[in-house]
A and B are shown apart, each in its own frame.
Chain A
Amino acid sequence: MSVTSLNYFGFVAVLLLLYYILPKKCQWVILLLGSIVFYLTYDIRYFIFLCSSILITWLIALFMQKKNDRQKEELKAEGLDKEGKTAIKNRYKKKKRRLLVLNVIILVGILYFCKYTNFTLDNIKALSKLFGFKFKKPEVNIILPLGISFYTFQAIGYIVDVQKEKVTAEKNPLKYALFISFFPQVVQGPIARFKDLAPQLSGEHKFEFKNLEFGFELMLYGLFKKLVLADRISVIVSTTLGNWSTFGGFELILAIVLYSVQIYADFSGCMDIITGVAKMFGIDLSKNFDHPYFSKTIPEFWRRWHISLGTWFKDYVFFPISVSGWFQNLNRKIRKGMGAEASRIITGIIPITVVWFVTGFWHGASWKFIAWGLYHGLLIALGMALGPYINKLCDKLKMKRDCFSFRLFQMTRTFILCCIGRVFFISNGLKDGFNLLGHIWTHNDPWVLLNGTLFDNTGLDVYDYVIVFLSILVVWAVSMMQERFKVREKLSEQNLVFRWLIVYAAIFIILIFGMYGEGYVASDFLYRDF
């Protein structure tokens, strides 16, 4: 059930009705049943994987919670000196770590098995060939449960938080199941934290029109981004980049730039729909996008793009590596041997490389995703290493940095760097990505932008290009406003007629200019496959 389908809206409407009509105590049960039904509409086999993940993590978290409780009790015992307390803590830390490792191995194992088995076998085969061994790749056809990358990370985040005593383990397996499977976000995130989402899910929510109104408006904006903009651009992107060798460099540059817009409109549009639906139930999901194309640097871009994934990696990969004992030792050794500056750079680069390798790998079982991840890691590492020197150079050249033109330059540079990375994201492989870049470099045909052939070759006509252009303007204007104030709250302060006119206009723009219906197969959300 796609979140842009009529079935989905009907499903949400029925669920909302039950949610607010039935006693508030039952609200979380309604959400759970709704989530089960929603997930079952895809494939019952997916559901089995989801249930296994839920059950295993819930049980291990309970064991871990017992250890937490026992540790607390033992620490309360009278006459314990500092050393004694430390010994108790260390003892439990080890036990809990064992449980954590077990849980992570199981969860990551399932994810790896489903998502990366074929990739691993392909690489074993390639390596065997390289070293002259014979390896016959077995035919494996493994299903990839929907949203497994998202809910696995959410479950890992939960178990780590329980281990670190940031949250208390959920005793009710059904409530925990709801936290993992909450239907608006189970397929594409955002990757929620237990302390933020679980209390809202199990809490009681009274009916408020404001929630319905705000949620509905957000949903409309998401549908606009997805159906009017992203799905329209997807035609150009699939026509050109799907067969790039027959196109000239400028057409491909345009397609890559538009692909960057598409992927943003697609993913953030989906997030708006999801967040809007959750809002209608009185549940606030965490923000996943914060106008990333206004970013001045790559690190800032990643603080604004897929925020929940970025913070997850920061909290559960980057920091644990940075504060680990072996890493601190390494830091000390480098500082001693090579100086503070080298230590800053090297110890910064190591966790960044790990994080971006995993980020790339998370996005898909292909070297192109790993290359894309490492490319971003490299950009961030270069920024870290060269940043102070570039700043010094700017100072020496007396270049103004606190002005619009410099910010515009920074934003454009960041956007271009992201676009280059996207080439690997959309190509058919690492080699294909490099070939595509080479083709753009060697096939210059700027006249296609002026002689009208653009409209003949790229799958869309001039009407569509006008709609794409106007839609980008709308998204840009709304983003500008969102940077300055809360648009929906500002809108709610306006007169009813004006508000309704805006909403009616939005509805009819989506209904008329949306890419759906006869002769059109709506593109699946791009991030659903990750």
Chain B
Amino acid sequence: MKEFIKKYWKGTLKTVLFVGIFLILFSYVQDIFELKGQGYGKYRCFNWEERNALNVIFFGNSRTNRGVNPVVVDEIAGTRSFNYGLQGLRANQVYYRVVDAFKTQSPKLIVLESSICVSASARLEESYAQRALVSLPLSVNKVEAALDLGENDKKKAELILPLLRFHMRYRELEAVDFRYIMDINSEYPYMNQPAEEVMEVSRGYTPYETDMSLEDDGKGFFDKDYSKITKVKAPDEKLERYFKMIVDYAEEHGAKVLILSIPSMDKKETPKDIIPLTNYLRQLYADDENVAFLDASVCMKDYGLSYDCYHNTGHLNRLGAKKLSEFIGQFLRDNYSF
């Protein structure tokens, strides 16, 4: 081996240099081509936070993304939190985001939305996987996630190296795609605004601004007493396994877990899926003192949720998010010290 190195050190050095430069160029080119969707901006915003500055991180899907405003939560609870909800994500995808989040932050609490245990259709799994990994730098976690979440070899490779998927975007590149490499210090735009401007007013929260009254659609939804629902529904084996992995991972890293159910105004979803699933998780973690529950689907009247708090049947609007966030903030203030 020594002889080999002695003989070939120049060539080896050149090769290493060549590959190194290539990887740097590749990462820049990949950044340009990667689709600048929700997950992309949110990840950049997350990284904009100072290391270990976050006490609370909310993980979930679009219900969290649209339903929790960390700025409101923080004002009441006196903490600094971040909304890491990403549309569609399920427990198996959230797990890898959680692992990545703990690399730069050491939150005292992670809030997990219970509906990440509701099974997603196989058709959507692939796009959720892509969203779960978007813009994550190449790491062991990312490779593991890609190998786990990718449908086939081709998809796995595309999840690890998004350029393989998005290279055809050369037709549609805009100035915004080049922003990061043009000015390395500026953050990626989020909601069409630079992250630093958005962060202090949103911290990952993406509001729905429209206040549409859905009384006709959800007739009688708020009149029911959901606390009577004792039905228990287990998630599918895979999602339960990943949910447990998330909880274990958080606990191993010194964080407590709060399981949060966010109500959907869908007449079937809340009573048939969200509440029974949360009931199951409550049973599962009955003996774990590090895991607490905030069943916001049951006590909607307590924090004043009404028809005009919804943007659509599945998602809260800004008003709804404010009410839910105040409710969460009070719960955190009463039960945790940050």
13 contacts between A and B (CB under 8 A): A209-B11, A209-B15, A463-B170, A496-B14, A500-B21, A503-B18, A504-B25, A511-B26, A511-B29, A512-B167, A518-B158, A518-B165, A518-B168
Which residues of B in the span 173-187 have a Cβ within 8 Å of any Cβ on A?
none
Residue pair B171, A517 in contact (C-beta under 8 Å):
no
Per-residue B-contact encoding for A330-342, CB less than 8 Å = 1, 0 else: 0000000000000
CB neighbours (8 Å) of B33 from chain A are 512
Residue pair B18, A207 in contact (C-beta under 8 Å):
no
Residue pair B164, A508 in contact (C-beta under 8 Å):
no
CB neighbours (8 Å) of A519 from chain B are 168
Closest to B165 in A: A518
Given A209-B11, A518-B158, A511 and B22 touching (CB < 8 A)?
no
Per-residue A-contact encoding for B22-40, CB less than 8 Å = 1, 0 else: 1001100100010000000
A397 near B: Cβ within 8 Å? no
A513 near B: Cβ within 8 Å? yes
Tell me the smallest distance from the CB of B29 to a CB of chain A, in Å: 6
Given A207-B8, A209-B15, A517-B164, A508 and B29 touching (CB < 8 A)?
yes
* Assembled-state Cα–Cα distance A6/B22 (Å): 17
Which residues of A in the span 500-530 have a Cβ within 8 Å of any Cβ on B?
500, 503-504, 507-508, 511-514, 516-520
CB neighbours (8 Å) of A507 from chain B are 22
* Assembled-state Cα–Cα distance A216/B105 (Å): 42
* Assembled-state Cα–Cα distance A465/B21 (Å): 31
| Additional 17 contacts, C-beta under 8 A, given A209-B14, A511-B163, A518-B166 | A6-B157, A461-B171, A463-B170, A503-B18, A504-B22, A504-B25, A508-B25, A508-B29, A512-B163, A512-B170, A513-B170, A516-B164, A516-B167, A517-B158, A517-B167, A517-B168, A518-B168
Tell me the smallest distance from the CB of A24 to a CB of chain B, in Å: 13
Residue pair A7, B18 in contact (C-beta under 8 Å):
no
* Assembled-state Cα–Cα distance A85/B272 (Å): 98
CB neighbours (8 Å) of B166 from chain A are 518
B153 near A: Cβ within 8 Å? yes
Closest to A206 in B: B7
* Assembled-state Cα–Cα distance A64/B164 (Å): 53
* Assembled-state Cα–Cα distance A514/B153 (Å): 19
Show the binding face of A for B, using Cβ within 8 Å.
6-7, 207, 209, 461, 463, 496, 500, 503-504, 507-508, 511-514, 516-520
Residue of A500, A511, A516, A518 ringed by the most chain B CB atoms within 10 A: A518
CB neighbours (8 Å) of B164 from chain A are 6, 511, 516-517
* Assembled-state Cα–Cα distance A518/B154 (Å): 9
CB neighbours (8 Å) of A500 from chain B are 18, 21
Closest to A20 in B: B4
Residue pair A7, B153 in contact (C-beta under 8 Å):
yes
Residue pair A209, B158 in contact (C-beta under 8 Å):
no
CB neighbours (8 Å) of B14 from chain A are 209, 496
Closest to A515 in B: B168
CB neighbours (8 Å) of B171 from chain A are 461, 463
CB neighbours (8 Å) of A7 from chain B are 153
Closest to B33 in A: A512
Tell me the smallest distance from the CB of A514 to a CB of chain B, in Å: 7
The count of chain B contact residues (Cβ–Cβ below 8 Å) is 24
Q: Of the candidates B8, B21, B25, which one forms a contact with A209 in the assembled complex, judged by CB atoms under 8 Å apart?
A: B8
CB neighbours (8 Å) of B26 from chain A are 511
Tell me the smallest distance from the CB of A161 to a CB of chain B, in Å: 38
Tell me the smallest distance from the CB of A231 to a CB of chain B, in Å: 12
Tell me the smallest distance from the CB of A240 to a CB of chain B, in Å: 22
Tell me the smallest distance from the CB of A522 to a CB of chain B, in Å: 10
Closest to A520 in B: B168
* Assembled-state Cα–Cα distance A209/B157 (Å): 28
* Assembled-state Cα–Cα distance A6/B146 (Å): 15
Tell me the smallest distance from the CB of A504 to a CB of chain B, in Å: 6
CB neighbours (8 Å) of B4 from chain A are 207
Closest to A522 in B: B154
* Assembled-state Cα–Cα distance A175/B311 (Å): 72
Tell me the smallest distance from the CB of B155 to a CB of chain A, in Å: 9
* Assembled-state Cα–Cα distance A482/B283 (Å): 74
CB neighbours (8 Å) of B163 from chain A are 511-512
* Assembled-state Cα–Cα distance A451/B21 (Å): 45
Closest 3 CB pairs of A and B: A209-B11, A518-B165, A512-B167
Given A209-B8, A209-B15, A514 and B157 touching (CB < 8 A)?
no
* Assembled-state Cα–Cα distance A63/B199 (Å): 82
Closest to B29 in A: A508
CB neighbours (8 Å) of B170 from chain A are 463, 512-513
Closest to B164 in A: A517
Q: Of the candidates B11, B22, B165, which one forms a contact with A517 in the assembled complex, judged by CB atoms under 8 Å apart?
A: B165
Residue pair A514, B167 in contact (C-beta under 8 Å):
yes
* Assembled-state Cα–Cα distance A163/B157 (Å): 50
Tell me the smallest distance from the CB of B206 to a CB of chain A, in Å: 25
CB neighbours (8 Å) of A209 from chain B are 8, 11, 14-15
* Assembled-state Cα–Cα distance A364/B287 (Å): 71
CB neighbours (8 Å) of A513 from chain B are 167, 170
CB neighbours (8 Å) of B21 from chain A are 500, 504
* Assembled-state Cα–Cα distance A503/B14 (Å): 14
* Assembled-state Cα–Cα distance A512/B25 (Å): 13
* Assembled-state Cα–Cα distance A507/B163 (Å): 13
Per-residue A-contact encoding for B248-272, CB less than 8 Å = 1, 0 else: 0000000000000000000000000
Closest to A514 in B: B167
CB neighbours (8 Å) of B153 from chain A are 6-7
CB neighbours (8 Å) of A520 from chain B are 168
Closest to B126 in A: A518
Residue pair B29, A512 in contact (C-beta under 8 Å):
yes
Tell me the smallest distance from the CB of B159 to a CB of chain A, in Å: 11
CB neighbours (8 Å) of B18 from chain A are 500, 503
CB neighbours (8 Å) of B25 from chain A are 504, 508
Closest to B167 in A: A512
Residue of B4, B18, B163, B168 ringed by the most chain A CB atoms within 10 A: B168
CB neighbours (8 Å) of A511 from chain B are 26, 29, 163-164, 167
Tell me the smallest distance from the CB of B129 to a CB of chain A, in Å: 13
Residue of A7, A507, A512, A520 ringed by the most chain B CB atoms within 10 A: A512
CB neighbours (8 Å) of A514 from chain B are 167
Tell me the smallest distance from the CB of B37 to a CB of chain A, in Å: 14
Closest to A461 in B: B171
Per-residue A-contact encoding for B142-170, CB less than 8 Å = 1, 0 else: 00000000000110011000011111101
* Assembled-state Cα–Cα distance A494/B329 (Å): 66
* Assembled-state Cα–Cα distance A514/B167 (Å): 8
Closest to B155 in A: A518
CB neighbours (8 Å) of B158 from chain A are 517-518
* Assembled-state Cα–Cα distance A7/B165 (Å): 16
CB neighbours (8 Å) of A512 from chain B are 29, 33, 163, 167, 170
CB neighbours (8 Å) of B8 from chain A are 207, 209
* Assembled-state Cα–Cα distance A20/B25 (Å): 29
* Assembled-state Cα–Cα distance A511/B30 (Å): 10
Tell me the smallest distance from the CB of B14 to a CB of chain A, in Å: 8
Residue of A496, A507, A517 ringed by the most chain B CB atoms within 10 A: A517
* Assembled-state Cα–Cα distance A207/B1 (Å): 13
* Assembled-state Cα–Cα distance A517/B18 (Å): 25
Tell me the smallest distance from the CB of B251 to a CB of chain A, in Å: 37
* Assembled-state Cα–Cα distance A496/B17 (Å): 12
* Assembled-state Cα–Cα distance A191/B22 (Å): 36
Tell me the smallest distance from the CB of B1 to a CB of chain A, in Å: 9
Closest to A209 in B: B11
Closest to A512 in B: B167
* Assembled-state Cα–Cα distance A516/B157 (Å): 12
Tell me the smallest distance from the CB of B168 to a CB of chain A, in Å: 7
Which residues of B in the span 30-59 have a Cβ within 8 Å of any Cβ on A?
33
Closest to A507 in B: B22
